[in-house]
């Protein structure tokens, strides 16, 4: 289920008409688990429509759909390759971050969720990450530590059906640079950088090893 949070910085929701999408990085990793401006026909007192919402998607699975085997851990017969992600309608920002975690037992919830993937310091010009994204190909971009202890994508590897949530964070100019290997769940990141977040969009996908 999609979860969209627009934080109170509505005045910043402007999408430059000359913005060019950037698809960054590329590569493959392994591991195991435990904008385009659009018109609005609505009327308001100023005659200006509301800007479109931030929209995070993946061509690997639809929001609420099943995560394909290739993005699952090798222990379940997958290739442990991170999914493609793309976004549009982001407010003017300095950078993005992406975090994927799992809150289904035996994982905890909130701060105790299982960390599967985190990508930080993504340039503001970026509008997508390719499948098998390799952070080392983009200056300044780093990955956070997953539940496996590695600073790389850790695909779903559950004992039963689990749901995985991926959140995109649009960040202010004052957002500090995050160092590689830092471990954050979505909850921890949102608490630590609440004042730096302009907008959030979240998609989710599921994986059941019995299917």
Pairing, β 55-57 against β 114-123: unpaired
Strands (E), 46-145: 55-57, 65-66, 85-88, 95-102, 114-123, 126-129, 142-143
- For 168, the token pair is 């995109």
Half-sphere exposure of 203 (CA within 13 A, CB side): 22
Tokens found for residue 111: 């701060």
Cβ neighbours of residue 186 closer than 8 Å, sequence gap 6 or more: 99, 101, 113, 165, 167, 202
* Per-residue model confidence (pLDDT) at position 51: 76
CATH topology for 3-7+52-207 is: Phosphatidylethanolamine-binding Protein (3.90.280)
Per the CB < 8 A criterion, the answer to whether 151 and 180 are in contact is yes
pLDDT of residue 4: 52
CA 196 to chain CA centroid, Å, is 16
Q: CB count, 10 Å around CB of 28?
A: 13
Q: What is the pLDDT of residue 19?
A: 32
Q: Which of 117, 127, 123, 128 is nearest to 140 (CA)?
A: 123
Q: Which of 64, 74, 91 is nearest to 28 (CA)?
A: 74
pLDDT in tens, the chain (211 residues): 555 555 543 333 333 333 333 333 444 333 344 433 333 444 444 446 777 899 999 999 999 999 999 999 999 999 999 999 999 999 999 999 999 999 999 999 999 999 999 999 999 999 999 999 999 999 999 999 999 999 999 999 999 999 999 999 999 999 999 999 999 999 999 999 999 999 999 999 999 999 9
Residue 8: what pLDDT?
Answer: 46
User: What was the pLDDT predicted at 49?
Assistant: 72
**Phi, psi angle pair for 73, to nearest 5°:** -60, 155
**pLDDT score, position 5:** 54
């Amino acid at each position: 289920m999609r979860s969209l949070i627009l934080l109170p910085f509505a005045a910043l929701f402007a999408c430059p008409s000359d913005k060019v999408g950037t698809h960054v990085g590329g590569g493959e990793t392994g591991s195991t688990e435990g904008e385009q401006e659009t018109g609005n026909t609505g009327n308001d007192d100023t005659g200006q429509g509301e800007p479109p919402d931030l929209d995070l998607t993946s061509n690997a699975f639809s929001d609420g759909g099943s995560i394909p085997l290739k993005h699952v851990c090798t222990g379940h017969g997958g290739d442990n390759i991170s999914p493609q992600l793309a976004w549009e309608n982001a407010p003017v920002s300095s950078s993005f971050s992406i975090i994927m975690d799992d809150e289904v037992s035996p994982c905890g919830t909130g701060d105790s969720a299982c960390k599967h993937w985190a990508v930080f310091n993504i340039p503001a010009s970026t509008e997508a990450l390719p499948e098998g994204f390799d952070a080392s190909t983009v200056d300044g971009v780093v990955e956070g530590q997953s539940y496996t202890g590695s600073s790389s994508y850790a695909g779903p590897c559950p004992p039963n059906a689990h749901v995985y949530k991926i959140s995109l964070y649009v960040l202010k100019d004052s957002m500090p640079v995050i160092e590689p290997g830092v471990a954050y769940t979505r909850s921890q990141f949102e608490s630590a950088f609440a004042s730096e977040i302009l907008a959030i969009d979240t998609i989710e996908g599921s994986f059941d090893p019995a299917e």
